[in-house]
Amino acid sequence: MALTNNSQVWEAARRFLRVATIALSVASAGVILSANDSTGGCCEGAPAGEVSSSDFSSFTYSMAANLVSGGLQVAAAFLTWHGGKDSGGEVVKCIAELIDAATDALITSSFGLSLSVDNFGKCGGRRISGICKCSGSFCKGVRKAGGISIAAAVALAVSQYLNDRRELEEEDAQGQ
């Protein structure tokens, strides 16, 4: 069955957004990995040092979640573009939808952690809140990674919407 022009547009936009989700997930991981700054003057009596995302398990998780979601989206793209046209199409579709759900969960949890960066910090070996008062560029990097993760989540959601829209058009075309 040939796709209608609208259906082709939906499919092209969906593929673009799936690739964008992959790129944004990996970019977010890279930004959070490179976020670091000096902690000089952070608190009285504490030696100056460096702060980076690897100092906090939540940011390490955030980076890993973005990398895993990017990899999952590569697998979903491969499945939806190359598998399932013939035999096993419904199974492939279900697996791709499960991957999308897992990706959504990973990205959502990642950006929540990244945007709460000001609630994390260390000063002289003890945890403090307000790390952004003395490590502004670190916090900007982590927040930027959170913003990129939000963009990835939006791209994924729109991609899923467009897929549903395309399927509805195909069902309507078959019913006529």
User: What are the pLDDT digits (tens) for 90-105?
Assistant: 788 888 889 988 998 9
Q: Which domain holds residue 59?
A: 11-33+54-132+144-175
Does residue 61 form part of some domain?
A: yes
Of 69-83, 123-137, 141-155, which range is least confident?
Answer: 123-137
**How high is the pLDDT of residue 97?**
86
40 belongs to a structural domain: no
Total of domains in the chain:
1
| Rounded Cα–Cα distance for residues 138 and 169 (Å) | 47
128: in domain: yes
Residue 104 lies in a domain: yes
| CA–CA dist 73, 23 (Å, integer) | 10
pLDDT for the residue numbered 5: 67
Q: What are phi and psi for residue 119, nearest 5 degrees?
A: -85, 0
The answer to the question of residue 139 being in a domain is no
Give the model confidence (pLDDT) of 58-87 as tens digits: 888 888 999 999 999 999 888 888 765 555
pLDDT above 90: residue 162: no
Helix (H) or strand (E) holding 122: strand 122-123
Residue 150 lies in a domain: yes
Q: Rounded to two decimals, what is the model's pTM?
A: 0.77
Buried b (16+ CB within 10 A) or exposed e, 44-58: eebeeeebbbebbeb
